[in-house]
Structure 1
Amino acid sequence: METLNHRAYQVTQLACIVNQLHRMTMRMPPDALPSGMTISQLSTIGFLYFSQQGDVYQKDIESFFKLRRSTVSSQLDTLEKKGLIQRVPVSHDARLKKLVLTEEGLRISGQVLLVLEQMNDFMIQGLSQEETVVLTNLLRKIEQNLSRIG
């Protein structure tokens, strides 16, 4: 197939994968997660869950996920309206708010992590452990390449 050899194939393929992951979250059973959660929201909840030992701020989400401030702000507004996170002022800077999972956010974190693990398992099924390591390393390199261009 000629498409596979085209120089733009990999970027198109990655875009398709992102779309498929998004559709997977939309097809989740209603009891699997709070309704209407996107892959970005799931990932943010997972990030906050794993970062509970330290303070996390909006800029940390922006940096980790390589998103614009307006995108992250909108996403955090939505998570706050759903009662999953709180923005808590810090004493050393009145402008700064740390992000904290609410009791409800902590409660669903287990479900969120399970969904992310299931999505990962679907994504890598049929790959050997060696192929999974290679894939992870390649994705890290791609991320670093893209980060260098901004």
Structure 2
Amino acid sequence: MSTAVEEEKVWKQLFRTVEDIRLYHGRTTPFSPPARATMTQMRVMGYLIGTLSGSVKVKDIARELGITSGGVSQIVDTLVKSGKVERCRDSSDRRSVCISLSREGRRLQAQIDASFTALFRKLLRSVPEEKLQVFYEVLGAMSHALEDAKQNGEKN
């Protein structure tokens, strides 16, 4: 695929598919309303899950997600009140506060993981193993390219 038209087809199909998955998951997931979280709250929780230490500073979340520190603080306040995350003191800087998933947040994440695993099992059951492997490799290549662009400070 070397033409701009083909690349445009790919990204448009990817975006449509991701949106379809998000909408389907939202309609069919049996979570009770208090367990639900907004997409922005899920992004914050997802960032926490993706960190090796499991806890991060508000400014790090803001920088990574492109949200102001004040905006992240408001989101974190809501997540703390709902019991999904907790604040803790940074052991290397007592003035600094870190955010981490609470027990309830980890439980919710496990529930979401199981739900998406079941959904993808259903969506991909008729796709041959070889094509799944190629799909996985393409996603990995895209992730690496994005990480390289981020490290190099590249913009679109």
**TM-score tier (shorter):** 0.5 to 0.7
Give the CA RMSD over aligned residues: 3.5
Unaligned runs of 5+ in 2: none
Match of 2:136 in 1: 136
Of structures 1 and 2, the one with the larger relative CO (CA 8 A, separation 6+) is: 1
Match of 2:65 among 64, 67, 70: 67
Q: Deviations over 1:76-112 (max 9, x none)?
A: 4443332111121213224543332223223333312
Cα distance in 2 for residues equivalent to 1:43 and 1:132 = 26
CA contact (8 A) 2:79 2:85 kept: yes
Please say if 1:121 is aligned against 2:121: yes
The residue correspondences of 1:88-103 to structure 2 (distance < 5 A) are 88-94=88-94, 96-103=96-103
Cα distance in 2 for residues equivalent to 1:124 and 1:137 = 15
Match of 2:108 in 1: 108
Larger Rg belongs to:
2
Shift of 1:47: 6.2
Cα distance in 1 for residues equivalent to 2:33 and 2:129 = 29
Match of 1:86 in 2: 86
Evaluate the alpha carbon distance shift between residue 144 and residue 88 of structure 1 in structure 2; reply closer, same or farther with a 3 A threshold: same
Cα distance in 1 for residues equivalent to 2:111 and 2:136 = 24
Q: Deviations over 1:99-143 (max 9, x none)?
A: 322232233333122112123324423222222121111012122
Cα distance in 1 for residues equivalent to 2:119 and 2:47 = 16
CA contact (8 A) 1:26 1:37 kept: no
Aligned length: 143
Q: Deviations over 1:34-76 (max 9, x none)?
A: 454356655765664576x73431577678xx63143982654
Cα distance in 2 for residues equivalent to 1:108 and 1:25 = 15
What is the one-letter code of the residue matched to 1:70?
T
Evaluate the alpha carbon distance shift between residue 33 and residue 123 of structure 1 in structure 2; reply closer, same or farther with a 3 A threshold: farther
The alignment's TM-score, normalised by the length of structure 1, stands at 0.67
Matched position secondary structure for 1:37: coil
Percent identity at matched positions? 22
Q: Deviations over 1:11-40 (max 9, x none)?
A: 111111221122123213444674543566
Match of 1:54 in 2: 53
Cα distance in 1 for residues equivalent to 2:38 and 2:95 = 28
